[in-house]
Structure 1
Amino acid sequence: MPTLVEIVPYDPEWPLHFLEAEADLRGRLGPAVLAVEHVGSTSVPGLPAKPVIDMDVTLTGLSAIAGAGACLVDAGYEPRGNRYDDDVWAFLLKRSAPDLRVSLCAPRNRTHRHRLLFRDYLRCNEDAAGAYARLKEQLAKRFPFDGDRYTSEKSAFIQEMVSRARAQFR
């Protein structure tokens, strides 16, 4: 059954939800964790977003993903697979908002690097963050029950911001 693409105003509690989830993940996954990063729209102060805390967990290597994934499943996360064939494995924990989406990856993963560049660019470029907010709201209205289309329609904008970030953060 399709779910509604819901964009809500920024919630100043989102960073706290991230910190709680980060502590839980580090406790569950132990020494395999190199870093836990808050990514996605909830990581950008002031940006409207779907009420989902997106987190990238960098592990010691690809070989650690299977064990970490099993740990997440045991904790109630739904496996969402490796949708883009990029060695990033997603898991979703549905709860009374916000949900948690955890992506497991190895060091130097390209998708993870792009997410960080995009996040950091939006954090320091108010105009870009505003344009992204408007785009998200327009797409949520156009594709209210098509999350895949909503996501794919943002791709060109995201790629442009990643390119700008590369140039800015050199």
Structure 2
Amino acid sequence: MEVSQSLRALLGDAVYAVDHVGSTAVPGLAAKPVIDVDVTLCSRKRIEAACRCMADAGYDARGNRYEDDMWAFLSSGEPACRVYLCPPENETHRRRVVFRDRLRQDGALRAAYGALKLRLSAQLPLDGDAYTAAKRSFIEAAIGISTPSGR
């Protein structure tokens, strides 16, 4: 069963949308064999119950990863997946979809990001948090965000 269908079956009418995000969602981009999926729920009120469903189904809860009500879960099954539950109009989700779409549309941006990912994966092979943080300024520039701290 496809990942999206499986998540919709598990979470039922709590699901508003399922979006394949991350590098595996961009043809031609280097990626780990892990599918990143954002599940937008119909209401913020549905998050707690949806989190319980994910845990009961065997997903490993990783907590509120972005501190904006985006709850992370990991499945080591086939295919390996990182699933993020988020409320409607979540800003992290919006940025991830915008970045994915820009990478799909812009070959030069996709190539530059791919080169950055390869360089960082060689430099930070065992530190996923540092790897993610090191990509932040590239991603923010690509989607037109500037941060006061210059990150």
How high is the TM-score relative to the length of structure 2? 0.92
Aligned position for 1:55: 37
Residue 92 of structure 1 corresponds to 74
1:114-159 Cα deviation digits (max 9, x unpaired):
0000000000000000000000000000011111111100000000
1: distance between equivalents of 2:39 and 2:131?
Answer: 24
Deviation at 1:48, TM superposition (A): 0.7
Once residues 77 and 13 of structure 2 are traced to their aligned partners in structure 1, the CA distance between those partners, rounded to angstroms, is 26
2:143 is paired with a residue whose SS is: helix
- Residue 162 of structure 1: aligned partner: 143
Deviation, structure 1 residue 72: 0.8
- The reply to whether residue 73 of structure 1 matches residue 55 of structure 2 is yes
Instruction: After TM superposition, list the pairs within 5 Å mapping 1:31-42 onto structure 2.
Output: 31-42=13-24
2:140, 2:96 → 1: CA distance? Answer: 10
Deviation string, structure 1 residues 78-135 (Cα, Å, up to 9, x no partner):
0000022111001000125x41111001111100000000000000000000000000
- Alignment deviations for residues 16-52 of structure 1 (CA, whole Å, 9 cap, x no partner): xxx7010011011111101000000000011111111
Other structure's SS at 2:30 match: coil
Q: Which has the higher contact order (CA 8 A, sep 6+)?
A: 1
The size of the alignment, in residue pairs, is 145
Moved >4 Å (runs of 4+): none
Q: Which amino acid aligns with 1:55?
A: V
Identity %: 52
Q: TM-score, normalised by structure 1?
A: 0.82
Residue among 88, 103, 112 paired with 1:131: 112
